[in-house]
Amino acid sequence: MALNRTPRTWVPGLKVLAQHLNDEVKDLWEGLQSAWDAATWIPGDAGVWTAAGTNPAIGNGSSLGQFQRYGRTCLFAGRILPGSTTTFGSSTYNFGLPVAASGTTLVLGPALLIKSGGNFYTGVCYRSGAGFQIRFDGTTTGMSSTVPVTFANGDALHFTGQYQTA
């Protein structure tokens, strides 16, 4: 994407050409207005949705992920909808990031678990290793198959976040 490059250094006497305007202005605006990438990062895929114990598997559930980079800033959004053959693994979940994060950057963003019966649970995405975990209000650990409540067929997990890329 055009936003992910080093801008030109302007010096006195440089003639501004059409190509300069395309590179430095037009391409940047196209990058800001472009669609988010939804093809390469799927939060429910093996290796992206993992656990400290047995890994979960999406089965016949569905997941959607998309992200957009603006320079070294990455915004992401994801959704996991478990199905009847989804296995939920054991222990705390970890989610891989769409693009590698800077070594010390934070990953911050809201999360929402909607139970099939209609109850809502709010939480926050936070950096954990090379990815992120989700901690819900009133809990002392990251999300798992039983935290904050039992994650089951018919539920919906939504999350968004932002961070600085490597």
**Which residue range(s) make up the domain with 7?**
1-34
The pLDDT tens digits for 60-93 are: 999 999 998 888 899 999 999 999 999 999 999 9
Q: Is 80 domain-assigned?
A: yes
The predicted model scores a pTM of 0.83
Structurally, the chain folds into a number of domains equal to 2
What is the CA angle 90-91-93, rounded to 5? 100
Contact by Cβ (8 Å): 74, 67: yes
Kindly state the DSSP code that residue 35 receives in the 8-state scheme. P
CB atoms within 10 A of CB 113: 21
Phi-psi category of residue 37: left, alpha or beta, with phi > 0 → left and psi -120 to 50 → alpha? beta
Kindly state the DSSP code that residue 28 receives in the 8-state scheme. H
Is residue 25 located within the same domain as residue 55?
A: no
The DSSP-derived string for 57-77 is B-TT-EEEEEEEEETTEEEEE
Is residue 116 located within the same domain as residue 66?
A: yes
Is residue 77 located within the same domain as residue 11?
A: no
Query: What does the block give as tokens for 71?
Result: 């320079």
User: pLDDT in tens for each of the 166 residues of the chain?
Assistant: 445 567 778 889 888 888 877 777 766 667 667 777 776 788 888 889 999 999 999 999 999 999 988 888 999 999 999 999 999 999 999 999 999 999 888 899 999 999 999 999 999 999 999 999 999 999 999 999 999 999 999 999 999 999 999 8
